[in-house]
Amino acid sequence: MHTVALTVDCKAAHHGRCYTNDIIKLAEKHFVPITWLIHISELDPSANTNLYYKEYFHKIPCWHEIGMNVYFENDRGYVEDPKERGNIINIARDVLKSHRIKPTSFRAGCFALCPTDLAYLEEAGILVDSSSVSGSDYKMFVDWTGGPTDPYHPSYEDVRQPGNSKVLTVPITSADGKYAYLDKGIDEVRTILDQCDEQNVFCIGMRDYMDCVDALDALIVHLRGKNAHFSTLTQVASEHYEHHPR
C-alpha cells in the first residue's frame, strides 16, 4: 500500500487566478489531507501569507497542514550566501508565526535546497523537507541527480546523500526525467507513478494558480482504487520515524 502526500505550492498572490477553494472542496469530498506550502521570500515576505490568512486558512480543515515554500531570492536575485539563506528561513518562520501558524514542513523554491540550509531548518522547527526532484532532469540551481527517491535523512555535506540531519527529506516522485506535478496533467503523473510503483511513498505537487482540479479528482480516485493511504508531509515523517527510529 502506498502512502501519498499531496502538496500545493501557494503563490496565487503573484498571479491573476487561484484554485484553492476548488482544491479544498475536492479534498473534503474525498476526505484527503493536503500540505499547503505558502510562498515566502525576502523579496516578498507576506503577500501569499496575507492572502491565505484572509481568504483560506479558516476554510482549510484542521486535518490538513500549512508549511512554507521558501524562495531564496531578494532584490539582487538568487541568494547563495548561507547566512542570508538562513535569515530568509527565519523570516518565513516568523511571518507564518505572526499568522498563528507553526510550520513543520518545507519546500525550497525551484527545489533549491543546499546543505547549509539544514541546520537553519532544524533550528526553525522544520521536521520534513520536500525539495528533492531526484529522478528528474530539473537542474536550475541544484542538481538532484543520483539522490535517493525514497524518504531519507540528508547529509550536512551533500543533500543528495543520506546522513544525520534531523530533517526528513521526502522527494517529489520523479521518473524518466519528469517530476509529478498535476498541472502537467493526469496522464503524465500516472505514468510517473507507474514507473515508481515499488516506492512506498508518493509525493505529488500542485500549484494553486494552475487549474489541476479535474486531474486531482482523477488521481485520488485512481490511487484510492489501489488502496493508497493519504497523509500530510509531517505525518509521513512521523510514520517514517516509527518504522526507522533514530
- For the stretch 207-242, pLDDT in tens is 999 999 999 999 999 999 999 999 999 999 998 765
Q: How far apart are CA 25 and CA 220, in angstroms?
A: 13
- Share the mean pLDDT of the chain: 95
Task: Give the C-alpha distances (Å, rounded to integers) separating 81 from 39, 95, 117, 122, 134.
Answer: 20, 21, 10, 18, 24
Res 23: pLDDT: 98
Helix/strand/coil for 142 = coil
Res 75: pLDDT: 87
Q: How far apart are CA 166 and CA 246, in angstroms?
A: 9
DSSP label at residue 140: S
Which helix (H) or strand (E) segment holds residue 228: the answer is: none
CATH class of the domain at 3-243: alpha beta
Going from N- to C-terminal start, the domains of the chain cover 3-243
pTM, whole model, 2 decimals?
Answer: 0.95
Task: Give the C-alpha distances (Å, rounded to integers) separating 114 from 20, 71, 80.
Answer: 30, 12, 9
